[in-house]
Amino acid sequence: MLPFERIFVFLLILSLSDALPTSSRMLPTRTALLPTTSPAYLPSFPASRNTTSQPTGPLLRKSLNLGHYPPLWAAPNTQHPEVQRAIRSIDWTHVPSFLPRPPQGDASYDDGHDPACWWSRTECTRPKQAYLPEDIAYCENPHDFGLTYDDGPLNPRDANDTWGEPQLYDFLATYNQQATLFYVGSNVVSFPQAAQRAIQAGHTLCVHTWSHPQMTTISNEMIVAELYWTLRAIKEATGVTSRCWRPPFGDVDDRVRAIAHQMGLRTILWNSDSFDWKLPSVANDYQGTFDDLTVDRFFQAWIDRLPPRHGRLVLEHETSDKTIQMSEKWLPRLKNAFEVKKVHDCVPLLSSPYWES
């Protein structure tokens, strides 16, 4: 079984079950390795203008200076001077020496012992390295529902595309609803106005890498580069420095966690997958294998079965008309059944999402 076939199987089981973690988490950082200020290797940028209500309406799309960034959706150059400064900031004696994993999977990995706390194989969220904090994977209160969207901000594909931002953000504003948004750096630099709109509307912006790789398959230096350029893009677009991230596909182990930790980033996963990413759409070249009715069943199951111990922290996406339509269909019903919140609001002991006040 290929690694992401394995991921799909246990995500399917997890989304339809109430088999949630029972151990208490240790939210405070366990050592001084975590930065206490915004990383010095990041440039300074002005903050976005604050607003008193959620803004809506059309957005003018104009990219940041792309010459200051790597090619869009491509692996960044680890020799870039800015990346090298970030690499030098890492205490590599506190990064486990696990090798990058082959993209096709690692048949030799010991799932039972799980020495690397490799989520893609074992769903492990409590690192084996004592200095690393536990991943965030659920809301504390069973009645809370953590609303998150990956892979944004959704760029319009052409002038006639009405599903790019601000479609989702305007919809959320009609319900006075905020969410946690995990941004791909390549999308941010292409459409910084969407990121500005999101933060002005009160959404939380977190890192989702520059080019969306399987993080356990790339080198230490590439991990730094993927995180660095997304941190920089969000900061240039909005003026804030994120302290939260989500690994693409959930693919994380203690090597990846340790690097992200030293870059000031707390790992946030999920315990309930909407599988909206399996709807056929332009985002997956229409290769998705789930129809609307199948995905509807996941949403309905969440409403029908309240978790007994902890609340749901859900994976949704802003990647296509299909994922946005699914969110528009179900958010009103979810709000009737749960207290729908941003992640930092449903995990009260979690540190502020930004270094800036």
Rounded alpha-carbon distances, angstroms, from residue 30 to 13, 130, 132, 175: 32, 7, 7, 38
Among 150, 151, 253, 273, the active-site one is: 150
Q: List, as own/partner pairs, every contact residues 51-58 make where C-beta atoms lie below 8 angstroms and the sequence separation is at least 24, other chains included.
A: 51/200, 51/201, 54/169, 54/172, 54/173, 54/176, 54/200, 54/201, 54/202, 55/173, 55/197, 55/200, 55/201, 56/166, 56/169, 56/170, 56/173, 57/166, 57/170, 58/166
Comparing CA positions, the residue from 351, 352, 353, 344 lying closest to residue 139 is 344
Comparing CA positions, the residue from 232, 193, 195 lying closest to residue 43 is 232
Length of the chain: 357
Check residue 205 and give left, alpha or beta (phi > 0: left; psi -120 to 50: alpha).
beta
What is the end-to-end Cα distance of the chain in Å, rounded? 46
**Is-catalytic flag, 212?**
no
Comparing CA positions, the residue from 152, 137, 123, 151 lying closest to residue 251 is 123
Neighbours of 217 (CB within 10 A): 17
Tokens matching residue 49? 């203008």
Among 203, 310, 317, 344, the active-site one is: 317
DSSP character at residue 268 = B
Neighbours of 260 (CB within 10 A): 23
Rounded alpha-carbon distances, angstroms, from residue 263 to 74, 91, 214, 230: 21, 10, 18, 12
**Is-catalytic flag, 150?**
yes
Comparing CA positions, the residue from 106, 124, 75 lying closest to residue 257 is 124
Catalytic residues: 150, 317
